[in-house]
Structure 1
Amino acid sequence: MTRYRCPDCTGHWPVDAAIWRCPSCAGPLDLDFPAAPVPRGHLGARVGSLWRYAEALPFTAPTCSLGEGRTPLVTLTRTVSAKVEFLMPTLSFKDRGAVMLAELARRLGARRVLADSSGNAGCAISAYCARAGLDCTVMVPEGTSPKKTGQILAHGARLEVVPGDREATAEAARTAAGRPGVFYASHVYNPYFLHGTKTYVYELWEDLGGTLPETLVLPVGNGTLLLGASLAIGELRAHGLIGTAPALVGVQAEAVAPLAAAHRAGAEDLIAPRGAAGDGAKAAAGAPAAPATVAEGIAVAVPPRARQILRAVRESGGRILTVPEDAVLAARRDLARRGLFVEPTAAVCWAAAGAWTDRTAVVPLCGAGAKSGPAR
């Protein structure tokens, strides 16, 4: 049986319920879904998209697919490869999860879809809602790249620019999500999104001959790619399809690094700012606006799934690194000179490359440089 489950208070709800977070404790939900083993030896004749892994997905035969997935691996060094995730229909990895949310909204008969984003998720959700014939509104923080807001508008969505940072936008969306007839397509709270992003690892497993690299290096803001990777690794191990699991290494911008601070301190949740009361995540919600970073896609001061991210990294034997602004920009220029033009957020993992040169690793190039300004 597929159903929602709260990882904190262990409550269960049907997936056709009009909820986007736990009704009891207001936390993000997980999805109890009985994924079956994917037959790697029989994938050759299947569709060339993420839907080839049908046994592992909560939906089959989506009507709003744009052919997302099956992005290539490109060698960067003797031990490090890049998965070119910006070769997606909307030019970012967020398509993997957005197609799931649009398909869910369509099947539930939603009248209006609402999303909040720093840019790429909004582009993806607006595109897949357009494909599904769904009315869509996207909230973004002020200062979001005009190229991303232009793409959102081009897909026919309504755009609402929220004063303040990414957390202010998330709070505005959570408030609006309670309006009648609204399906909140939250790429953070809704676990269907994670069951889309987990296909990133299924593709690596297929392309690497049924194995995975020693390290998966992933940019972490809200952690949707890292948590999807952890989900896939757990499924592959449970089915006996891999042996040793890779370490998960998260990378944050030094200017906005709440998860790195918590990991260094050995904390299970975000660390409350000085003088705050209550648990880490709730206290951090009252913190001042996060400093600016060129890596806007991971500029998240209060990730709602912080506990899950920290646990996944720790249990994998991984860690969370930070990189300064100048290193991010230098990494972006270096990738461009290798023929790979990415947005700054997509360069953060390559900026940290010196930390794992002794192990095989894959970094995702999550968003196209065409979505932001020229390489500086």
Structure 2
Amino acid sequence: MMSLPDFVCPADGTRVRAGSLAWCCPVCRGPLDLDFHPTPTDLKALAGRVNSLWRYAGSLPLAAPEVSLGEGRTPLVELTETITAKLDFLMPTLSFKDRGAVLLAELARRLAPERVVADSSGNAGTAVAAYTARAGLDCTVYVPATTSPKKLEQIRAHGAHIEAVPGDREATALAARAAADEPGTFYASHVHNPYFLHGTKTYVLELWEDLGGRLPDVLVVPVGNGTLLLGAALALRELHSAGQIGRFPALYGVQSAAVAPVAAAWAEGAADLPAEPYPARPTYAEGIAIPRPPRARQILAAVRQFGGGFLTVPDPAIASAQRDLAARGLFVETTAAVCWAAVRGGRFGERSVAVPLCGAGVKSGVVPEPRWA
């Protein structure tokens, strides 16, 4: 395990040795970061490398994986003259979560735990189930009882056990964390485990490579637990430190207007979420309906660093955006339509914009008739 980097708590600096099954800071119980600061490979040196996210192995905390399914290198498609979509719903398990899940499964394979547990509203659980199956590991996924049947079918198909938890996404996370405290358990948390963030940063590395060593003026990403946004922030810092980009794009997060705790904190100029709980309301964007993301402070700090902001979209706009994308040949789930809903009215003018389409429509189907006012 000497080749693995140590964990470090971003809140209090506590260090956790590489190879540990600890899933959080032992002092504050918060999520961990990695003491890992790579230099991205020069653009020209990438030519001829494997056509997956592992072409950026020099920027990743793990290399030479045994569990890869060829994830990454998703295409770019123009939506307008200034807005480009990255089709991350074309991943092996049909969502961007494969970018981080492959690193979690590879790490778990090397640590050889007795069991793997995860919690998810669907996509992360599916991705972890697929990659742990590839690694030959026993996996249990905790899901909200209201999770889409199609997503549950995917998880079961990969041989993972399902624990359906009554209540909201937060109740599901608490149940999984209790299981994660059991000895011999690897918690494949896409929120707490920083290896996941180093997987999602390849989203930006691919944009940078495919655009010839530059980035759009604006990056717009959905925010629930913020794993794609925080991965993007890691990539931006690494590319800039290595002199691979001369300026930062503005980084914007999008939340459903029904569940927008980070956007609300941003509007108040706060550095973190308030102590009182944010109300959890129904929304079509169930994949980002997270009332209290554990990395909220880091999300807010990243958006401030990169001169961005937060956008919110109501459910009717999300449904309309999903239908509009389908009419353009791109059938995505409703959560994946939030960024297009936020930018398609020309919000950023002539500036170039990139948005991710994070999950396939076959996972949850077409938006049903409204179930609430």
Bin the TM-score by the shorter chain. over 0.9
Aligned partner of 2:171: which letter? A
**Partner residue of 2:34 out of 28, 31, 34:** 31
Please state how far the C-alpha of 1:375 moved relative to its aligned partner: 4.3
Q: CA separation in 1, counterparts of 2:237 and 2:321?
A: 31
**Partner residue of 2:316 out of 326, 341, 354:** 326
Share of identical aligned residues, percent? 66
**Partner residue of 1:304 out of 289, 294, 304:** 294
Please state how far the C-alpha of 1:124 moved relative to its aligned partner: 0.1
- After superposition, residues 197-346 of structure 1 pair within 5 angstroms as 197-273=200-276, 284=277, 288=279, 290-346=280-336
- How many residue pairs end up in the alignment? 363
**Partner residue of 1:123 out of 122, 126, 134:** 126
Is the aligned partner of 1:111 residue 2:101? no
What SS is found at the alignment partner of 1:260? helix
Deviation per CA, 1:67-126, whole angstroms, max 9, x where unpaired?
Answer: 000000000001000000000000000000000000011100111000000100000000
Is the aligned partner of 1:373 residue 2:352? no
Aligned match of 1:364? 356
What SS is found at the alignment partner of 1:81? strand
Q: CA separation in 1, counterparts of 2:329 and 2:236?
A: 30
Please state how far the C-alpha of 1:16 moved relative to its aligned partner: 0.6
Q: Is the 8 A contact 2:37 2:238 kept in 1?
A: no
Is the aligned partner of 1:61 residue 2:53? no
Q: Is the 8 A contact 1:261 1:271 kept in 2?
A: no
Aligned partner of 1:189: which letter? H
Q: Is the 8 A contact 1:219 1:349 kept in 2?
A: yes
Deviation per CA, 1:317-358, whole angstroms, max 9, x where unpaired?
Answer: 100110000000000000000000000000000001132233
Q: Which runs of 5+ in 1 are unaligned?
A: 274-283
What SS is found at the alignment partner of 1:251? strand
Q: CA separation in 2, counterparts of 1:191 and 1:127?
A: 19
Aligned match of 2:6? 3
**Runs of 4+ more than 2 Å apart:** none
TM-score normalized by structure 1?
0.95
Q: CA separation in 1, counterparts of 2:44 and 2:270?
A: 42
Please state how far the C-alpha of 1:238 moved relative to its aligned partner: 0.4
Q: CA separation in 2, counterparts of 1:271 and 1:13?
A: 28
Aligned match of 2:174? 171
Q: CA separation in 2, counterparts of 1:374 and 1:350?
A: 16
Aligned match of 2:161? 158
Q: Is the 8 A contact 1:258 1:271 kept in 2?
A: no
Q: Which runs of 5+ in 2 are unaligned?
A: 369-373
- CA RMSD in angstroms comes to 1.0
**Partner residue of 1:88 out of 76, 88, 91:** 91
What SS is found at the alignment partner of 1:314? helix
